[in-house]
Structures are given as structure tokens and as C-alpha cells.
Chain A
Amino acid sequence: MGTALLSLSGLTKTYPGVVANSDVGFDIQPGEVHALLGENGAGKSTLVKMIYGLVAPDSGQMTLNDVPFSPADPNAARAAGVAMVFQHFSLFDALSVAENVALGMDNPPPRRELSDKIRTVSKAYGLPLDPQRTVGDLSAGERQRVEIIRCLLQDPKLLIMDEPTSVLTPQEVEILFKTLRKLSAEGTAILYISHKLEEIRSLCDTATILRLGKKVATCTPAERTAAELAEMMVGSSLRPPERRAHEPGGVLLEVNDLTIAPTQAFGTRLQNISFSLRMGEILGIGGVAGNGQDELLAALSGEVLTDASAIVMQGTAVGAMGPTGRRNRGLLTAPEERLGHAAAPEMTLTENALLTGSKRQALVKGGWINWAAAKGFAEHIIHHFDVRTPGPEVAARALSGGNLQKFVIGREVLQEPHVLVVNQPTWGVDASAAASIRQALLDLAADGAAIICISQDLDELMEISDRFAALNEGKLSPIRATADLTVEEIGLMMGGAHGMEVADA
């Protein structure tokens, strides 16, 4: 096809021990919104890194407008008209929007001119943004707009977007999609990376599906059902988690007027959070990243102390108690960051099992470690949660993200908590591992535990939680039963479209 904007063929990249991409090829037409669909570890990131000049392919060719294209670095890619918005933003919190944009340009125009340009572009594409604001004060959605505008100022022919909606409320997703459709109508091609099927079906013209580094298919997503796409992506059909019917019991955990000052600059202050949690119940807490999720987990785990009465567990005030005391009472947590927070990367799985299991699993007596028992507990987790690893003596960092997450969740679930708090339990985890983690949480609740699931994945929360609330700027919305919520209502609970008032200013 001579008309293709970007044409890939036979792209292969191997890392030691892993084939990230094997013989991948497809075409992107000008003005096309092309989805790159695949599970975590399917090779999406490596592929776009090759297009963006961050990684050189081992073999294979790329052509851009029929000219061989092999960018040596991102500068070369940008010069050729390829721009990329990363999932993790590279912005300086302490600088203004305009300053951040200027830093990404080779020859930035004078500040005033640039500010005007930013305003123009932001108006033209419906991306409200005030160039004078400090980035540290912006919401995740607004930060993404900074990144997008930075790209648009270069007038790209191809815009790559890596999981752009993971940090957006449903309302913000709508705004973004309008912008992308407008760009596409003007002839800009968009390579859209995601694993969210409904989004892809509504937005993208074409989808290329990757599985284990290989291209499975290129299709028109609107003509397929979400289930068909999922099956192509995962390679097998997934069983949705089963819910056992059960009635919630007595109150296990009460949080009363919890207020915590941020521990770092541009951190989030938790404000007057109150809720109660009953036996057998799963409370889903949604919200865009950076709205107090980490702070809430730290307050519940005991890493940050509060007034004793702010957190009451089965009648005992535990707010002033550290993590060990809370664990002894059956309040267990699993933080979002697996490496370095929930687990020590350099330590073995046995040692990591000991990390939180020492007391409840009686792995330590009088300060002396029973290594045999610790190893036994690690093996128990590995076996029960199907953690793929040669054995418990392997360092945690050697495990894939999904396997380590199964280990971390399994470690807490198997300690029979009364209350379990998890943050992003399936983040970066492949679909089958995610399904098994959700099933484990549902089973735990059915057996009488109470669970708080903090997550940015709304589908996940709708699937497993009985009640739902959203964190927005450190405040918790009223709690509603999940069954009678609409997507619009959820979006409003998450704070609607952040920063829209600027649009009219």
C-alpha cells in the first residue's frame, strides 16, 4: 500500500530471555486512528519505542511516507513528524505550563508568544488549559493536556498515545476523544495504545492486536464484539468472576473524620473522610490517580499515624497504632507499588513472605525466625495463587509484574484478614491473573472479611464492589450502592472534567 503514512514490516526485538516483538508488521494510513491492543507484556511498549526512536529493532523495516524510517533517537522521530504522549508524564511540578512546554522544544519562542500559541491550540482542540498555572497544582487529566499540547505544537503527522485514559474521568475521556477525532479529521494519524476494549470500539478505525510479541490480527474494532477482541487479546475466553450471594454482617471498620496533611510537596491532603465497613462487604474507591489514594492506604496501613479514634477496628481505636499492631488485629493492606513498597525487590520470596506474615503466620518466635516455616508460607502462596516462579528462593525482582502482584495479594489474603485494603490490585497485571486476583477478593469477602479496593480501573470496581465512592482532591464522595450507578454519575463523583472552568475564562 503506497498510501500508508507509516508502514512496519517484520519488526523483531529481543531482550535477554524475552522476545518482545517478533515479526510485527502493519500499516497506518494518514488520518487513521489505529489501536494497538494487547495485554501487559504483549510487546506494545517495545513496538512504539521502536517507532519513537527509543529502541532500535533487531531486524525489520519501517517506512514513513514511503521513505525508509529508522530514527536514532526521539529527536529524529520528532523531526520526522512522530510525537508521543507517555503514560507517565515528564513534567516539572514547580514550573508553569508554558515553561514546561518550552523545555520540550528545541527553539522555544519568547514566553508571551508561546503562551498565546498554547491558548490558541488549547482552544482549537477543546483542551482547556491556562499556560500560567503551575503544573504541580494540575490534575492528572490537565497534565495530560500539557503533554498533548506540547506534541501538537510540533504539528505531528503521527501522534502516539500510550494508555491515555487510565488517568481520566469518564467526562475527561469524552473531551479527549473529541480532540482525537478532530485531529484525525485534519489528517493526523493516531496510534492509540490501550487494553480497554469499549474505548477502542468507539474511537478507533483499525486495531492491531498483539499477543506475546506477535501480531494476532488487524481488524476493524467496530465490527467485532468486546468479547471477540478480548479473546484475540488473551488467547482464550475468560470466565467472569463469580459472586457468591451473602449478606453483609456487623461493622468491622469505622473511619471517622480522617484528615491528614500531605507528607510531601504537591501531595494530597485527606479531608474529613468518614465511612464504615461491614463484614462481607467490598467497598470500591475510585478516582483519578493522585487524588489521595496513596495517602488513604498509608493511613489505613499504619505507615502514617492519625488520632487514635480516626480509625476504629472492631471497637478498638487503632489510628495511633503502627503497621504491626494493626496486622495483629487483622487489618491487612497491599500497597500499589509492588517493588520497593509491598515487596523488597532484592529479597527472596521467602523473605518477602516473612515481611508481613511474621506474626499472623507465627513465623517468628521470641525474635528468632523460623526459616522453614517462612519458606513453607511462601510455597503456600505460590501454590495457592499460581505464582509462576522456579521457587521461593527467587528474588522478588525476577518475577513479572503480574506474578509478583499475585504473590503480594496472596500473602495478605492467606493471612485471613478481617479487613483487607488493596490499592490497584490488578495494575499492570495480565487479564487472567487479574481475574484470579478479583476472584480471590470476592471469595475472601464471601467468607466474611471486609475489603476496601482502591482502584483507577472503573470496570474492576463495578465488577467486584458492593458499594462505590470516589476520591477527588483528598475528599471522599458519598458512598452509593454499585448496582444503581451510571457511568455519568461515577464521572461526576470523580470530580467531573477537571479544569473545565478555565475553558471559559
Chain B
Amino acid sequence: MLKIEKRASPSKTWNWAAPIMAVALTMIVGGALFGLLGVNPFQAIAKIFYEPLFGEYAFYYRPQLMIKAAPLVLIAIGLSMGFRAGIWNIGAEGQYIMGALSGAGLALALYPMELPILLPLMVIAGALGGMLWGLIPGYLKVKFGTNEILVSLMLVYVAEQILASMALGLMKNPEGMGFPGSRNLQQYPSAHNAEIFAGSGMHWGVAAALIAVIFAYVMLTRHMFGFQLRLSGIAPRAAKFAGVDPGRMILICMGLSGALAGMAGLFEIAGPAGQVSIDFNVGYGFTAIIVAFLGRLNPIGILLAGLLLAITYVGGEITQSQMGLPLAAIQLFQGMLLFFLLAMDMLTNYRFRRSTKEAV
């Protein structure tokens, strides 16, 4: 018989081995699933992981990876701050939408004025929009003790309705001949979040994501705020004893994660997406939760996890179009990644031992 036993201190090896094991297990079980669907599992998995990086059309896919990974990483960095402090903002999708609407709204209001600082202003507006949307569940939690998980999630659906209303009403393109959706910001030079180097996929959102990674890393390891954040998550009573105000910590974390999600939304709407439309959001805010955990809530880990998830997105699309795998199978594949990670996670804090229960 095997027995589960708590480790004296968390295993450093397993902390890093768990995500790798999770990826490997996902490949095995996902491969079996693909096999059952009548697709050659080796080919499918090779396509998902190989094609986007080194395949024949990698020159096209690599920029796509950047475009997909940037919002994931940016949002996940913000979420990871809250998760570390034990504050569960799972409504990043809504904050992402509200950030996009705030920034796009500013640009659409000023259209067609050409203003060199318009894009930076939009970024600020986007961050503020996301922040305010994130502060609602934060404030309700501090003031009335509501559950931030529920409130932030419900606000996603509110945001989606606002998005639809905007796309069909207030922000609709007056010259769009009745079609839903706003003007295309890609055609508004001051507002366009263009690629920094043409053809690289490297837009300002990618730069912001990288800055966020570095910023988060430095703050968590060197700054008192990062220490208080970790302390609040690990030992809330000790944090209070140390002088951390729990309410303030909640507001900062919700505001910060909302702001980053809002910025991600703005970079997306002013760049790759281009316009306010009903189907603007594609679930980055939710996938970022997977990215945050897959990356161990560690900024560097999140960067790698964001790239990995982007690969499964892009690679998934390739297998979909080339091998006829259904979208649901790809989503299942991504879900498995989190599932196995959480399962493997146990090994960081626990270990198996052969039980020594003998007859007495």
C-alpha cells in the first residue's frame, strides 16, 4: 500500500518538475483522445507543438504566437499577484472587455483627430477601465464581505452585455452601412497599436507584457509590497500581525489585476482585433488563469506558460484546419493541462511512501 505524507518543506525539484510532468501527461492522454477520434496522435501532437515554431509556415505562425501570448501573459501576471495574496479574481475576462471599451471609446470619441499621444492615453484609459471593473468586487468584498470569486465572475457577463450594447449602439460605425461593430482602429493611425517591427507580431502589448514580467519579478523578490503580498496569501493572520491591512491588500490586488487585464484588452482592440464587435473577447481572461497556475504564479514561469498556451492555440488551429480535429478536442487538450498540473502539484507538498502498517 502507498501512503501519502506531507513533506517537511516543499520540494524544490517538484516545483519545477510538476509542470513538465503535466505537459507530458497531457500529451499522452490527449494523444489517446486524438487517437479515439480517428486521428494519428503522433502527427496531431507534433503538429500542435512543432508546426507553429519550426514548420514550413512558421514565418506566419511565430508572430501569431506573440499576439496570442501577450494578452495571456499580461493578464496572468496581474492575476498571479492576487492569487498569491489569496484573492481570487476570476473575472479578468470582464476587466479585459471593459479596458478595451474604455480605450476604444476614447479613440472613437476623438476620431478623426490625429494626436501623437493618443495611443498612450488610450492605454491609460484601458488600464483605468479594467481597474474600476476589478475594484467593484474588491470594494464589495472589503465593505460587505461578498465573495470576490462570484462577483468578479458575474461581472464578466455584465461586461459582455455592455460590449454587445456598444457594438450595436453607441460605438457602432456610423459609416458601417448598418453592420454591427465600430470603426476599425487599425485605420486610425493615432489610435492603431501597430507592430513595432513590421511582420514580427511584436506590438506594444508584447512590450507591455515583457515589462510586466520584469516588474512583477522585481517586486515579488525585492520589494516590501511583494513580501506583504506573499505573506497575506501564506499566513493571513501573520500578515495582519505584521501590519498589512487586509482590505487595502484586496483593493490593490483587484485594481492591479484589473488594470493589467484592461491594458491587455486595449492592446488587442487597438491592434490585432481592430474594432469593437460582439465577439471581440475570445476567453483570454479565463485562459490566463490556467497560464498563471501553469507558471507557478512565478513571473518567469508565466512567461513560459503563456508561450506554451499560445502554441496550443495556434497549433490547435492548424490541426483543426489540416486534420479535421474538432475545436472541442483542442479545448479539452488545454483543459487537461490545468487538470494534470493541479494533480501533479500535490507532489510538491506531499510524497508517496510505502506504508508500514504491519500487524501488531
Interface residues of A (CB under 8 A from B): 16-17, 56-58, 70, 301-303, 322-324, 327, 333, 335, 337, 340-347, 351, 354-356, 358, 364, 367-369, 371, 394-395, 397-398
Contacts and interface: CB of A to CB of B under 8 A. Distances in A.
A343 B238 contact: yes
5 contacts: A340-B237, A342-B241, A356-B241, A367-B225, A368-B222
Nearest to A60: B360
A345 B245 contact: no
B165 to A, nearest CB: 42
B243 A327 contact: yes
Given A367-B224, A368-B222, A355 B242 contact: yes
Contacts of A302: 243
Contacts of B235: 340-341, 343-347
Interface in B5-23: 5, 8-10
B242 A356 contact: yes
A347 B222 contact: no
Output the residue of B8, B234, B237, B238 with the most chain A CB within 10 A: B238
A45 to B, nearest CB: 18
Given A327-B243, A337-B237, A398-B9, 4 more contacts: A58-B356, A341-B235, A343-B235, A371-B222
A369 B360 contact: no
Contacts of B239: 344
- Name the residue among B10, B224, B225 with the largest chain A CB count within 10 angstroms: B224
B123 to A, nearest CB: 25
A421 to B, nearest CB: 12
B276 interface: no
A344 B360 contact: no
Interface string B317-360: 00000000000000000000000000000000000000011001
B9 A395 contact: yes
Sorted from nearest, which 8 A-B pairs have the closest CB atoms? Answer: A324-B243, A344-B235, A323-B243, A70-B360, A344-B238, A341-B237, A395-B9, A355-B242
A355 B357 contact: no
A469 B14 CA distance: 52
A398 B360 contact: no
Interface in B217-272: 222-225, 227, 230-231, 234-235, 237-243, 245
Contact of A322 (B5, B230, B243): B243
Contacts of B245: 322
Contacts of B230: 347
A182 to B, nearest CB: 34
A368 B230 CA distance: 15
A489 B63 CA distance: 82
A371 B10 CA distance: 21
Interface string B143-163: 000000000000000000000
A16 B225 CA distance: 37
A289 B231 CA distance: 28
Contacts of A57: 360
Contact of A347 (B5, B223, B231): B231
A355 B231 contact: yes
Contact of A335 (B223, B234, B241, B243): B241
A397 B162 CA distance: 49
Interface in B27-44: none
Given A345-B235, A395-B9, A354 B227 contact: yes
Contact of A369 (B223, B241, B243, B356): B223
A369 B242 contact: no
A364 B224 contact: yes
B238 A369 contact: no
Contact of B231 (A301, A344, A368): A344
Contact of A398 (B8, B222, B238, B243): B8
> Taking each of B237, B239, B245, which has the highest tally of chain A beta carbons within 10 Å of its own beta carbon?
B237
Contacts of B240: 303, 323
Contact of B9 (A322, A355, A397): A397
Contacts of A327: 243
A487 B30 CA distance: 73
Given A355-B231, A368-B222, A398-B8, A342 B238 contact: yes
Nearest to A343: B238
A351 B241 contact: no
A371 B223 CA distance: 10
A358 B8 CA distance: 27
Nearest to A340: B235
Contacts of B360: 56-57, 70
B347 to A, nearest CB: 17
A368 B225 CA distance: 9
A352 to B, nearest CB: 8
Contacts of B241: 301, 303, 323, 333, 335, 341-342, 355-356
A367 B228 CA distance: 11
Contacts of B222: 368-369, 371
B227 A368 contact: no
Contacts of A340: 235, 237-238
A75 B150 CA distance: 42
Given A344-B231, A344-B235, A368 B223 contact: yes
Listed residue (A337, A340, A371) with the most chain B CB atoms within 10 angstroms of its CB: A340
A356 B224 CA distance: 12
Contact of B238 (A322, A355, A364, A371): A355
B238 A358 contact: no
A397 B235 CA distance: 12
Contacts of A333: 241
A302 B245 CA distance: 11
A335 B238 CA distance: 10
B357 A56 contact: yes
A323 B242 contact: yes
A122 to B, nearest CB: 37
Nearest to A365: B224
Contacts of B227: 351, 354, 369
A342 B231 CA distance: 12
A397 B9 CA distance: 8
B257 to A, nearest CB: 20
Contacts of A367: 223-225
A301 B243 CA distance: 9
Contacts of A303: 240-241
A477 B357 CA distance: 53
